[in-house]
Amino acid sequence: MSVTDLHAAGLRRDERLERWKLFGLASPAILLVLVVLVIPVGWLFYVSFVGADGNFSLENYERMVSRKSYLRIFVTTFQVSILTTALCIVIGYPLAYFISQLPTRWANLCLVTVLLPFWTSLLVRTYAWLVLLQKQGLVNQWAISLGLWDEPLKFVHNMTGTLIGMVHIMLPFLILPVYGAMRAIDKDYLKAASNLGASPRRAFWTVFFPLSTPGLFAGSLMVFVLCLGFFVTPAVLGGGRVIMVSMKIVSNIELFVNWGAASSLGVVLLVLTVIILWIASRFTRLEQMAGGGH
């Protein structure tokens, strides 16, 4: 053994041991992912290829292509997702900008008000909207007594209600990453732009906005992907008139007990989501969706 190999074997062993310890810490989570994700999803794939007669068949997928109603459901799903995302951007971006410009104390207070509903049960918030928006609800009553409109407007059991509810629930998912990206923008960049001759508006569009787009992209993606598989809010506030993929999956099982049809819808939704995330990952770093990055 030469002098340079002093303790080499022992140090290598320590290194290996450390790695095993780390793996040991992660093993409960790995087991959980295996049991509740990998196995069920694999089973989902399997069931989607089983026909009504119990043999291997593509009939579940053929049905999706041949029946117009299925196409309509996918169109509706994307419509709701795109509209919700767009509305979240229009409402959330300016709000995130406003919060990011506040002193830290006030910014934190504002963030809590953004997060508070985020921590409240989704079901409760959805039913709250139902109460608020229905024909005899608070919104209609007040508006009529104030003379804003004469007849109760239909806010629920349609697209409007679905969108109001979805946007409300999705907003934090957009605001948080956008706020994170904005907060990370060094104020000196804007000073530099201003010093070099840019008006505040020009400085915003040439410097601030481009630097905030990674956060905006991550937030939008997050909202859009979450919308694709959303169930409770459209089911309650859509009143059966806005049917998204997730609702069709439920009805396939509850009404028709057709596991194959339900599974195939699930598979298509999953594959679409993965494709969207894969495309997105080529343009941005996905960890920004969790508020990380930079």
Partner 1 sequence: MTAKTGALPITVRDVTKTYGSVHALDGVSLNVKSGEFLTLLGPSGSGKTTLLMVLAGFTRPDCGSLKFGEDEMIRTPPHLRGVGMVFQNYALFPHMTVAGNVGYPLKLRNVPKAEARDRIDRALELVQLGGYGDRGIDQLSGGQKQRVALARSIVFEPRILLMDEPLSALDKKLRDRMQIELRHLHEQLGMTTVYVTHDQREALTMSDRIAVVNRGRIMQLAEPQQLYDRPANKFVADFIGDSSFLPVAREGAGVSFAGATLLMDGAVPEGNDLLLMVRPERVRLLTGDLPGDTNIFDAKVTELVYQGESYLLYARLPEGSEIAVRGAIREGTFGKLPQVGDAVKLGLHKADTVVIADGER
Q: Does 205 bind partner 1 (CB under 8 A)?
A: no
Amino acid identity at 50: V
Span near partner 1 by CB under 8 A; candidates 40-48, 191-199, 253-261, 273-281: 191-199
Span near partner 1 by CB under 8 A; candidates 30-38, 39-47, 196-204, 229-237: 196-204
Asked whether 201 and 156 are in contact (CB, 8 A), the reply is: no
CB of 103 to partner 1, least distance (A): 14
Q: Which of 57, 79, 158, 194 binds partner 1 (CB under 8 A)?
A: 194
Q: Which of 43, 106, 142, 189 binds partner 1 (CB under 8 A)?
A: 189
CA-closest candidate to residue 82, choices 175, 162, 153: 162
CB of 191 to partner 1, least distance (A): 6
CB of 196 to partner 1, least distance (A): 4
Angle, CA of 90, 96 and 97, to the nearest 5°: 95
When the beta carbons of 111 and 198 are compared against partner 1, the nearer one is: 198
When the beta carbons of 198 and 276 are compared against partner 1, the nearer one is: 198
Amino acid identity at 21: K
Token pair for residue 249? 């999956």
Span near partner 1 by CB under 8 A; candidates 156-164, 192-200, 224-232, 282-290: 192-200
From CA 51, how far away is CA 238, in angstroms rounded?
31
Largest CA distance in the chain: 95
Q: Which of 146, 196, 255, 257 binds partner 1 (CB under 8 A)?
A: 196
- One DSSP character per residue, 235-261 reads HHHHTTSS--HHHHHHHHHHTT--HHH
Q: Does 206 bind partner 1 (CB under 8 A)?
A: yes
Angle, CA of 37, 38 and 43, to the nearest 5°: 100
Span near partner 1 by CB under 8 A; candidates 25-33, 97-105, 172-180, 190-198: 190-198
Those residues whose C-beta lies under 8 Å from the C-beta of residue 272, and which sit 6 or more positions away, are 228
Q: Which residues bind partner 1 (CB under 8 A)?
A: 186, 188-189, 191-200, 202-203, 206-207, 210-211
